[in-house]
Every structure is written in structure tokens, then in C-alpha cells.
Amino acid sequence: MTRDMGLGMKIAMISEHASPLAALGGVDAGGQNVHVAELSAALARRGHDVVVYTRRDDPDLPEEVETEQGYTVVHVPAGPARYLPKDLMLEYMGDFGSYLLDRWSEERPDVAHAHFWMSGLATQLAARPRSIAMIQTFHALGVVKRRYQGSADTSPPDRIRLERLIARGATRIAATCSDEVFELARMGVPRSRTSVVPCGVDVQKFTPADEPERPVSKDLHRLVSVGRLVPRKGFDIGIAALAKLPDTELVIAGGPPAGGLEDDAEARRLRMVAERFGVQDRVRMLGQVPHDEMPALLRSADAVLCTPWYEPFGIVPLEAMACGRPVIASAVGGMLDTVVDGVTGCLVPPRNPDRVADAVRGLFADSSRRIGFGIAGYDRAKSRYSWDRVALDTVRVYKRALPAAMFEDPKRSHIGVNER
């Protein structure tokens, strides 16, 4: 990667619940953590000064951590220094915002990029008084969550109202997919203030294998599903489809460490679903898998299954595509952008086990098609969704949020010419 000239911009990333240092697979640790970590690293590679602000959830954490990837993580004292579900953090966003306001009086960033709606609330409390350009990435919208989860939605009651205010107060919005742009327009956000900046994938880590990651079985094909163990991820759809696929096993990664699955309510529910469909001997639940081990797991699959009810973006399909594996995904949210039906995989209606089974059966019956999907998926992931490409797209959004004079003033020449 060619490094940009100069010192680059000073960028504040605000991610109140999703620390880039967190272990993945827990209830509130998933795609957003990866997004913040990888985007920050890619921006640092381009010569920008990146500081990530996340809530302190452990009293033993240092105030600041300098990462090997070149960005800094600041643990913000807001609320008790212990784990809290993200839906209980709203009352502490005032303290979070006050911390940022004080910090930015001396260390003013050029741009503040908030991830998730509560981060947006804290960021605007600090960015407005300091006249700092503010970019908002929601990662998920409350109106969509309420639509799909109804009374099971545990979000604070004011979430939808506050998201509208945050969207209108942001300098610009970086939506992760086209579907989110339409949702924002329905909320009254002008299309001119919204840009699509997708999530990305580490194309150096997630790569096709030269050799199979597991011996080819004459008896069982393998499907792999990855994600947090929450109902909306739709692992039960894959389990139900398995009843129509007698020659297939399903490997599920996510949730607590393997030893804690017995105490996890969703893990217990999924095991009951497997027993009800008589496929418990062909469903393997691995629990939390370290991100460094995820490429090998995905490469061990004949196909990767992603069947959520809804999905604001979905990093797993990209990681699978980068590994050269075909994807069978629900036709929802960000996966409508990333998975090209009939080219890199199959899109199926959400919550429809029969259509999932049909897609899997057709894919496994045609090895040439399966290989072709894998090759096309790899090409698409590498060319469009590398984190360096996403970082460049992100900087373009920052540029549109900043005064033009900032790029013309010789005193601000530290902003790399390759970013203009």
C-alpha cells in the first residue's frame, strides 16, 4: 500500500460499545468491532492520525493503548467500569460526550466519525461546540430493528426519535449499504448528505487456500455459519434446512467460548431446534472462534450460509467470498449489495428453510458452478471491498464534510495529496 504524503488528517473514531480490542462473537461484539478496527488501521496506513474512543468496561484497562496497527484506543470513563449491554448505555452518553468535549479542547480532531447511534449522540454533544465535522455510521437503524423484532426489541424507547435527530445533525452520513440509504430517506435525511461506504474485508488474511482445509468427505458436505448467537441471525433457518439435506453438516461459530454454550440461552434453543428436526448429530456449535482462526474455518466449508432475518451489512459473506467460498445468503440489507445472485452465490428469501435447502442442493450438485462462484466472489471481495479501498472511500466522505479551504490552505498541507 502506497503511503499518502504528509501527516494526514486527525481523525476521531467514536465507538461507545464496540471496542476494536474486544474478542469477537459475544452478544455485543461482532461486525462493528471489526469495522472500527480495520478501518482505523487502514486509515493509519494511509498516514492519518487515528484515535478510537470506546467506553471503559474494565477497571484494569489502561487509559490509552497504542496498537500495532498504528492507531490509538482511548478508554473513556462513562458509567461503571464493567460490561454493560449496549442497550443500557444511553444514560452514560452525556458523560461520554463531556469527556470528548474536554479532550477536544486541546486535541481537536479534523473530523469525528461516530459508529452506532449512541456514539452519534455523544459525538454531537462534543463536536458542535468545537465546530468539528461529524460523520455518522449507524451500522443498524432502530426503525429497521423494531420492524423485524417488534416487542422483542430491547432498544431504549427513545432510540428511533434520537436517531432522527442524530441523522439530521450529522454533517454527513456514511451508510453501509443501499438499503440503508432508502431507510434514511424515509426518515427525512436528504440523499445529498448520504454516501454509501461499505464494510470491508482483510484480503491479506482472508484468502483462498492452495490446498483444502479439511479432507474432502465422501459422506458429508459442510456448511459454515458465523455470527453472534442472537435470534435475528437466523441460525435456526439453516438447521431447519438441514433436515432436507441428509448429506450435509452445519458448523456454527459464535457466542461464548465453547465451554459456556450450555449457559447460553440461544445456544440451548438452537440445540432444541436441531433435536426437533432430528439433525442434532449433524449440527456442530463451536462457540467463540478467534478472528485469526476464522479464515481456516471458512475455507473448510463447501459453502457459507448467512440466513439472518435482516442484516444491516454483514461482514461474514465478504470474508467467505475473499476465501473463495460460495455464499448462500438471505436477500436482505447489505447482502443485497455484496452477494451477486448467480455470480458469487445465491440470494434466498429470508426465513425460508425450503428455499435455503433448494439453493444448497443445487450448488452441491454442480461442482463447476460452486467453484465459479468462489472465484467470482474472491475477485469481487478483493477489488471492491478491501479495507484500503474502503478507507479511501471514507476519506472522500470526510473531504465532503470539511471546508474546501482546508485542502487549499498551505498550512494544512499535511492532508495527503492522494486523498484529494
Q: How confident is the model at residue 152 (pLDDT cuts 50, 70, 90)?
A: confident
CA distance 13 to 135: 9
Facing residues of 285 across strands?
A: 252
CA distance 373 to 255: 29
CATH of 10-200+386-419 among 3.40.50.2000, 3.30.70.20, 3.40.50.300, 3.40.50.150: 3.40.50.2000
Architecture category of domain 221-384 in CATH: 3-Layer(aba) Sandwich (3.40)
CA distance 408 to 411: 9
Q: What is the DSSP letter of 62?
A: -
Q: How far is residue 85 from each of residues 82, 88, 161, 226, 269, measured CA to CA in Å?
A: 10, 6, 20, 21, 21
pLDDT digit string, tens, across residues 225-250: 999 899 999 999 999 999 999 999 99
CA distance 230 to 27: 7
Phi, psi of 236 (to 5 degrees): -65, -25
Residue count of the chain? 420
**Distance in Å from the first CA to the final CA of the chain:** 17
* Grid cell in block for residue 132: 468539528
Which tops the pLDDT comparison, 390 or 31? 390
Facing residues of 115 across strands?
A: 137
Q: Are 68 and 14 in contact (CB under 8 A)?
A: no
For the chain, the domains span 10-200+386-419, 221-384
pLDDT digit string, tens, across residues 322-351: 999 999 999 999 999 999 999 999 999 999
CA distance 281 to 315: 28
pLDDT of res. 416: 42
- Do the domains 221-384 and 10-200+386-419 match in fold? yes
